[in-house]
Amino acid sequence: MPNYRFQFLLQMALEMCAELKSMGSSLVSIKEMKGTEALANLCACQDKVIQWLMIEMKNTAKEADASIDVLLEARKAQVASHVLDIAASVIMIISDINEAAETLGVGVSIDPVT
């Protein structure tokens, strides 16, 4: 997971902790009242909230992975472009050297293919 996502994930974790605290206090108050129906409702509500938070976390992780993939592909394209630019520059330099050698009458020629 990239560093720039840490703040967001930390915020989500803190929200989950806050939700857990509120669930705990609700559980304590229901146990004090000894209401089995209220306890069942609380459990259902808590399960729903936890599942929703987990779905949000998974979606965030998928988005982060997708953006990493996009950035890696863009980086590969940039590297390939730079390699082609360098190769073209080398070929032009070799061509200039060959022209200069020919102009000076030197019998040296560099083959850019090898």
Model pLDDT for residues 33-66, shown as the tens digit of each residue: 676 777 778 788 888 988 998 898 899 889 989 9
pLDDT of residue 4: 67
DSSP assignment string, 42-90? HHHHHHHHHHHHHHHHHHHHHHHHHHHHHHHHHHHHHHHHHHHHHHHHH
What confidence category does residue 86 fall into, taking pLDDT thresholds of 50, 70 and 90?
very high
Domain ranges (residues) in the chain: 3-104
Average pLDDT over residues 22-43: 76
Q: Tell me the pLDDT tens digit for each residue of 103-112.
A: 887 776 777 6
